[in-house]
Amino acid sequence: MWKNDDDGGDDVDGDVGYGDGGDDVGYGDGGDDVGYGDDDDDIDDDINIGNDDINIDARGLKKHLKRLNAPKNWMLDKLGGAFAPKPSSGPHKSRDCLPLILVLRNKLKYALTYREVQSILMQRHVLVDGKVRTDKTYPAGFMDVVSIPKTNEHFRVLYDIKGRFCLHSLRDEEYKFKLCKVRSVQFGHKGIPYINTYDGRTIRYPDPLIKPNDTIELDLESNKITDVIKFDVGNFVTVTGGRNTGRVGTLVNREKHRGGFETVRIRDEHGQEFATRLSNVFTIGRGPVSWISLPKRRGIKLSVIKEAHAREYEKTAFRFDRARGLKKHLKRLNAPKNCMLDKLGGAFAPKPSSGPHKSRDCLPLILILRNKLKYALTYREVQSILMQRHVLVDGKVRTDKTYPAGFMDVVSIPKTNEHFRVLYDIKGRFCLHSLRDEEHKFKLCKVRSVQFGHKGIPYINTYDGRTIRYPDPLIKPNDTIELDLESNKITDVIKFDVGNFVTVTGGRNTGRVGTLVNREKHRGGFETVRIRDEHGQEFATRLSNVFTLGRGPVSWISLPKREGIKLSVIQEAHAREYEKTAFRFDRVKTSIKF
């Protein structure tokens, strides 16, 4: 039998007591043998049942965010690292926003690394809702306007039809306002009325007609309310939460449930109806018209079959567009990486003219004069220099600002008595190597093919578009000829043989030089070659990427800095440190001298 469970007396049998002072087993008691949560040194000291310390995490803010726990609407890859950028405290919830680092790096592709994002932000190039933001993890949320004045671009953060964040490009004057949903209407100190919006704004003395769930149009320059959209049946709305996030339509019905969530029914342009909670709805237009431009698909959800048809149609339209004529413009983000253009220098890049080199294997003259040699600052200055016939490419005057100068071409400026050869550096980027003595009077050309023309006249085609008739019969494809730029005649030939000095003009080893060690033929595949540099490092590449520079282990042309030898990460760091030290030492010597 039991006595009262909460007293301190002894039970009849003395075996079990809840909260008592029994002898054998006690829950929270001061017993002798086994105790759960007691103060004695029992066998089960590690077991605490009913204790408040169970499953309590560390206190304070969480400063990190694991990548697997990041919101799915960020569209982060799972293998990009262990962590994801954790949004800073701001106007939006951490799972309902997009940090600026993801906007610049993942969405707009204006940066490749963390440091590049930091550099862009610290130069005050990015504005959110009209205010400069330098915090890389600042949370940009739904309906926020992200502006980049340097490129004259403006984007609104919206949801696509699958509930993922997307940046919708804005035109005209649309970037000057945003829509804000009203969370609550309250009275503050001394009875001053104010409203709270979804993005954390507090606006005092609002229109008395504004109620919760209404939407206000806010001018981003003056931060004043310019118009109001009531939350009424018949207005245009979008969904910002739940499984229908991103869908838009007309509000059809509003249902109230006592003790439960209010629900609304929405009908889209295709007549499809769906229901969601009232808290997930954001009014974006009065009547059936949206006050903002909508992203692709206009918030209309398609069936699986219709979506497949839409994708097929887009592919067909893309092929059709590619087949129609030349592309007259080149987006800056699509420009070749070896041109080393900054991402914020404008929306477009100079598109190379038709010429002897492929558009992605050349450097337009405007980039040579403006970006490489720094002889001009603007487009007009480049045009002025060229029209004065100051620039020669391979001995011929060129006045086209986008004329393509490619690998091995000689760019001459007689006015300053300077000559440069276009080469690749060790990282595959175009560089201008200064020439001395008589080296500017010739160039090396790789032979593409040997053919016979009209009446059996033999000729060769070179990599830079030249056609030379009656060549030496010993010249074969992949050989290199030495061409005199004054007479345009072949002066010597370098055979493509094992043991000769070569450089790589394509692939991941672009810019590396070395001695040809081996040539491998693969039936039905690419021929490959193996090359050994001066440090004894061997690497392989396709035969089509190799350009012969010299007979034997000696180059016939002077090479740029590092002479085409790839260093390890540690060696490269040591080389940079040595250069810095040498530079400081030279400065000290100069200061002592003067």
**Of 155, 170, 185, which marks where a domain is finished?**
170
Q: Is 581 within the bounds of a domain? A: yes
pLDDT class for 583, splitting at 50, 70, 90?
low
pLDDT class for 54, splitting at 50, 70, 90?
low
Same domain, 42 and 132: no
**Of 170, 199, 233, which marks where a domain is finished?**
170
Same domain, 504 and 541: yes
Same domain, 107 and 13: no
Same domain, 100 and 25: no
Structure tokens at 543: 């035969």
CA–CA separation, 556 vs 129, rounded Å? 59
Q: Is 252 within the bounds of a domain? A: no
Q: Is 62 within the bounds of a domain? A: no
Among 411, 446, 419, 422, smallest CA distance to 361 is for 422
CATH of the domain at 113: 3.10.290.10
Q: Is 176 within the bounds of a domain? A: no
Tell me the DSSP string of 392-455. Answer: EETTEE---TT-EEETT-EEEETTTTEEEEEEE-TTS-EEEEE--TTGGGEEEEEEEEEEE-GG
Same domain, 76 and 49: no
Same domain, 500 and 525: yes
pLDDT class for 549, splitting at 50, 70, 90?
very high
Look up residue 200 and give its DSSP letter: S
Q: Is 416 within the bounds of a domain? A: yes
Q: How confident is the model over 248-301, as pLDDT tens digits?
A: 999 999 999 888 899 999 999 888 999 999 999 999 999 888 999 998 888 888
Q: Is 225 within the bounds of a domain? A: no
pLDDT greater than 60 at residue 496: yes
Q: How confident is the model over 73-95, as pLDDT tens digits?
A: 898 988 888 999 999 999 999 99
Same domain, 541 and 574: yes
pLDDT greater than 50 at residue 37: no
Same domain, 15 and 77: no
Stretch among 174-183, 339-348, 420-429, 537-546 having the lowest mean pLDDT:
339-348
Q: Is 267 within the bounds of a domain? A: no
Give the start-end residues of each E strand in 97-206. Answer: 97-99, 127-128, 131-132, 139-141, 145-148, 153-159, 165-169, 177-187, 193-197, 202-204
CA–CA separation, 498 vs 511, rounded Å? 19
- The larger pLDDT score, comparing residue 7 to residue 555, is at 555
Q: Is 22 within the bounds of a domain? A: yes
CATH of the domain at 552: 2.30.30.30
Same domain, 78 and 36: no
Q: What are phi and psi of 440, to 5 degrees?
A: -75, -5
What pLDDT is attached to residue 110? 92
CB atoms within 10 A of CB 408: 22
Give Cα 131 to chain centroid, integer Å.
23
Residue entry with tokens 């007609």? 209
Domain count, the chain: 4
Same domain, 342 and 431: yes
Same domain, 138 and 77: yes
Same domain, 416 and 390: yes
**Of 170, 191, 224, which marks where a domain is finished?**
170
Residue entry with tokens 């994708």? 311
Q: What is the 3-state secondary structure (H, E, C) of 301-315?
A: CCCHHHHHHHHHHHH
Q: Could you list the residue range(s) of the whole structural domain that residue 369 is in?
A: 330-435
Contact 15, 1 (CB under 8 A): no
- The larger pLDDT score, comparing residue 569 to residue 205, is at 205
What pLDDT is attached to residue 314? 78
